Amino acid sequence: MASVPSASAADGAYVLSDVQCDLAHDGVVDLTLVNDRGQASATFEVAGQPYVVAPLSARAVTYDGLADGPFSVPVMVDGLDASVSVTISCDGAQTAVLPKVGQVASSALPTTGSSTGWTAAIAAGLVLVGAAAARTARRRPA
């Protein structure tokens, strides 16, 4: 999922939120506390924990091991409410991509250029053209 800005202070301090799923199908919420101000620090309070972010900087706060459903984090930016509310959906049905009929399922990368005959002929032709161009360039009077 893409990062989504939540509420923000009018002067360049805001919170981005991003929801992902880990390998155990638990939710992970990343909050990015962003301060785009050029001169002043921003004070964020995330679930009662204060964070001071320097000018033109950011800080990450991560919540993991989360169950499916709504998840909210109270956030204040310089005294203004910027709370984040997201929905976690990691335990849904998993989609498997099956091979087409007649194909073999394999995790190996597909082979390319298996016909080396034409590749060698094209490479040799390019080398000969380059050598001829170099000889022609040397023979021209200055």
Task: Classify 122 as helix, strand or coil.
Answer: helix
* pLDDT tens, N- to C-terminus, the chain (142 residues): 445 555 555 578 999 999 999 988 999 999 999 999 989 999 999 999 999 999 999 999 999 999 999 999 999 998 899 999 999 999 876 555 556 665 555 555 555 555 556 667 777 777 777 777 777 767 766 5
**Among all chains, which residue has been given the structure tokens 């009018």?**
10
- Domain coordinates in residue numbering, the chain: 4-88
Token readout for 5 is 């800005």
- Distance between CA atoms of 45 and 79, rounded to whole angstroms? 8
Q: Are 36 and 30 in contact (CB under 8 A)?
A: no
Domain 4-88 is in which class? Answer: mainly beta
Alpha carbon 27 to its chain centroid, in Å, reads 17
**What residues contact 122, with CB distance under 8 A and at least 6 apart?**
none
**Among all chains, which residue has been given the structure tokens 């194909």?**
103
Q: What is the pLDDT of residue 54?
A: 94
Angle in degrees, CA 109, 112, 113, rounded to 5 = 155
- Distance between CA atoms of 72 and 65, rounded to whole angstroms? 14
Q: Characterize the bridge pairing of strands 57-66 and 13-21.
A: unpaired
pTM of the entire predicted model: 0.60
Task: Count Cβ atoms below 10 Å from residue 82 Cβ, excluding itself.
Answer: 23
